[in-house]
Amino acid sequence: MTVFIIRRLLQAIVVVFLMSLIVFFGVNVIGDPVDMLINPEADQAEIERTIRALGLDKPIHEQYLFFLKGVASGDFGKSFIFGEPALKLILHHMPATIELALVSLVMAIVLGIPLGLYAGLFPDQRISRAIMAGSILGFSLPTFWVGLMMIMLFAVYLGWLPSTGRGDMAEFLGIRSSLWTRDGLSHLFMPALNLALTNISLVIRLTRAGVREAMHQDYIKFARAKGLTTRRVVGVHLMKNILIPIVTVLGLEFGNLLAFSVVTETIFAWPGMGKLLIDSLLQLDRPVVVAYLMIIVLFFVIINLVVDILYSVLDPRVRLRDQGT
Amino acid sequence: MSAGDIETTAVEARVETPFQRFWSEFRESTIALIALIVLALIVLLAVLAPWITPQDPYDLAQVDVLDGKLPPGSEAFTGYTMWLGSDGAGRDLYSAILYGLRISLMVGMASGVLALIIGTAIGLVAAYAGGRTETLIMRAVDIQLSFPAVLIALMLVAILGRGIDKIIIALVAAQWAYYARTVRGTALVESAKEYIEAARCLGLSHTRVVFRHVLPNCMAPLIVIGTVQTASAIALESTLSFLGVGLRQTEPSLGVLISNGFEYMMSGRYWISFFPGLALLVTIVSINLVGDQLRDVLNPRLKR
């Protein structure tokens, strides 16, 4: 077990290291670092000063070490636009993104499981077919277009929900969030639903497949034979068994939610780090872009590491297979 | 080849070529057949765009700003009817969508084919070489697949910048790993079979065994992955373009058109984003439906 964790940990460190190499070479070798890292509005004297400060007059391997040192100490340089350290800017925008991702995760569970359960228990009904067809659409529709259509319908034509921003926030239990106010919730609803669509479809399919498989298992037959009510068979015996894969997949999907929030945040002008990335890309604010990329890579590596370790705890075969190779 | 003579071959002679068998199984799903027809129509419309549109939307001499933001069905200044309305610059949307489809399909197919070739080559090398090379390649594939494609594409776009060539590079980089993993898996299974052993015993060269014997038998899953990945490449490109980090205004794919219409949406001018989006949607959904049926037909485990 310890060997497995150490191996995975080493692997994670290698990935972060490789990614830093890719980002570094992308910015400094493929692109022109003077062009990318120095404010285009700077004058000649300032350009030369910054070149020296960034160590761009040094050979390439020394530059890379310099970059690594900056990354390790959390120093990605200052944003050209805001004049603040890039890392601070991103951490400042992170809570909004995490709030959005968490709410859409909850939506995926709350909407996906009952719909999938229905489709699995009554597979031949017309409503079930409609649910399954809808879940195919949820997979193939481009998120951004669905978001646009939601704005058109709910914000422009019906005028029910606001289409941009985060709304009023309040503090509760030490967490500042839009969840605690009516206005905040109305702002949160559309972007969260938009972000959740793919996962709702995913949960519907997983739940349905799980139900269809479990219904023929002996433990369900036995529970029925004992004379338990359908409600109890489905709610306790069935749910307990099909929840495991759903929870695992959703845990893995959390990273994807963070990545896809880039799209949703841009459409709904949600002030999270995804929107910050796109704004920075468009305004050529490179320090922020580099910082975002490194942080999101770190995020993914950590999520994958945690999932891998959890898997190996739950399923020893994974661990053994890994040691075999 | 008409449907009629396939049936006669199938029923009377009972000698089917693999393609005929494939086709008669593919036809069984009406939805997939409709999707295939729709897809063929879309490709045809995109190819024929210059000859069947009333206007070249990117020829400044034919576009009049006075025609801007007209609702669907309006009469243009120059006489023809704009059935889908016009955009902010006065371009006929029907024409703009067909021209946009050309670009979207081209980018999707180019990156799909390139990713297929590169991914297949890498996957075959991994399967055939084995040992350290294989471990190294498959670790790289695993690592890449642990990041979502949209993130990898964004990362590359951030480094490379905008434009058709760069987007294609970004899409290929985001997708090659899917092909590599599939090919390697299938190639390993195939390599263990007797006919490959026989081919090797005959003293055939490695290249011949790989390309003439292993590769043809890996084609079925590749075709399936290829269709699905092409659809997702088209979706990914339009997403990047919508975000403003994909194609430029001078390379107006459907994503660019949708993005242009976004600013008019708040004032109720829905059609500028809606119709290009609908075209995108129909394209992606029909490719996916065809891909679904391909998977059912080509999957040997489901063979009756």
Q: Is the pLDDT of residue B12 over 70?
A: no
Q: Which positions in chain B touch A22 (Cβ < 8 Å)?
A: 155
The answer to whether the Cβ–Cβ distance between A151 and B135 falls below 8 Å is no
> How far is it, in rounded angstroms, from Cα B185 to Cα B178?
11
pLDDT score recorded for residue B266: 75
Q: How confident is the model at residue A315 (pLDDT cuts 50, 70, 90)?
A: low
Q: Test B238 with A163 for CB contact under 8 angstroms.
A: no
Contact between residue B107 and residue B285 where contact means Cβ atoms under 8 Å apart: no
For residue B130, the enclosing domain spans 20-302
pLDDT mean over A166-183: 69
Task: Please give the pLDDT value at position A325.
Answer: 44
Q: What is the mean pLDDT of residues A63-92?
A: 79
Distance CA A204, CA B255 (A): 29
For residue B24, tell me if it sits in a domain. Answer: yes
Name the average pLDDT for chain A.
80
pLDDT at B197: 85
> For residue B5, is it within any domain?
no
What are the residues facing A175 on neighbouring strands? Answer: A172
- Across the range B212-218, mean pLDDT stands at 85
Exposed/middle/buried for A167, CB within 10 Å: 0-12, 13-18, 19+? middle
Q: B179 or B91: which carries more pLDDT confidence?
A: B179
User: In the block, which residue shows the tokens 């909850």?
Assistant: A106
Contacts of residue B146 in chain A, CB cutoff 8 Å? Answer: 300, 304
Is residue B15 in a domain?
Answer: no
Q: What is the mean pLDDT of residues A231-246?
A: 80
Whether the pTM exceeds 0.80: the reply is: yes
Q: Please state, in angstroms and as integers, the Cα–Cα distance from residue A204 to each residue in A311, B104, B200, following that order.
A: 23, 31, 48
Task: Identify any residues that bridge with A170 across adjacent strands, giving them in sequence order.
Answer: A177
For residue A55, the model assigns a pLDDT of: 63
pLDDT (0 to 100) of residue B67: 65
Query: Confidence band (pLDDT; 50, 70, 90) for B211?
Result: confident
Whether B6 is covered by a domain: the verdict is no
pLDDT of residue B154: 87
Task: Return d(Cα A203, Cα A180) in angstroms, integer.
Answer: 27
In tens, the pLDDT along B272-294 reads: 888 888 899 899 989 988 888 88
Domains of chain A: 2-72 (no CATH), 88-282 (1.10.3720.10)
Confidence of residue B105 (pLDDT cuts 50, 70, 90): very high
Tokens 């059609």 — which residue?
B271
pLDDT score of A40 more than 80: no
CA distances from A287 to A74, A80, A183, B154 (A): 12, 8, 34, 15
- Return the structure tokens found at A260: 């896809």
Residue B10 forms part of a structural domain = no
Instruction: Average the pLDDT over B156-161 and give the result.
Output: 82
pLDDT at B66: 63
| B33-53 mean pLDDT | 87
Q: Rounded to an integer, what distance in angstroms lies between the CA atom of residue B183 and that of residue B177?
A: 10
Between B266 and B69, residue with greater pLDDT: B266
Mutation choice for B interface testing from A17, A140, A285 by most B CBs within 10 A:
A140
Percent over 70 (pLDDT), chain B: 84
Q: H/E element holding A109?
A: helix A86-121
Dihedrals φ, ψ of A175, to 5°? -110, 125
* A155 Cβ contact partners less than 8 Å away, ≥ 6 residues apart: A161, A162, A163, A190, B266
Q: For a pLDDT cut of 90, what percent of chain A falls above it?
A: 5
User: Does residue B145 belong to any structural domain of this protein?
Assistant: yes
CATH number at residue B103: 1.10.3720.10
Our count of domains for chain B comes to 1
3-state secondary structure of A228: coil
- Partners of A152 on chain B (C-beta within 8 Å) are 265, 270, 273-274
CB contact under 8 A, B159 and A30: yes
* Per-residue pLDDT at B104: 92
Facing A31 at nearest CB: one of B148, B159, B245: B159
Q: Look at residue A47 in the predicted model and tell me its pLDDT.
A: 75
ipTM of the complex: 0.79
In a domain, residue B13? The reply is: no
User: Looking at beta carbons, which residues of chain A come within 8 Å of B277?
Assistant: 142, 145, 148-149
Choose the weakest-confidence range: A87-101, A196-210, A239-253: A239-253
Residue with the bigger pLDDT between A170 and A3: it is A3
> Which residue in the set A148, A157, A300 is minimally distant from B147, CB to CB?
A300
Query: What is the pLDDT, as a whole number, of residue A318?
Result: 62
Q: Report the first-to-last Cα separation within chain A, whole angstroms.
A: 16
CB pairs under 8 A between A and B: 104
Question: From CA B245, how far away is CA A117, in angstroms rounded?
Answer: 40
Place A145 in a pLDDT band, splitting at 50, 70 and 90: confident
Residue B8 within any structural domain of the chain: no
Count how many residues are written for chain A: 325
B214 against B63, higher pLDDT:
B214
Instruction: Output the 3-class SS for B37-76.
Output: HHHHHHHHHHHHHHHHCCCCCCCHHHCCHHHCCCCCCEEC
CA distance B180 to A31: 29
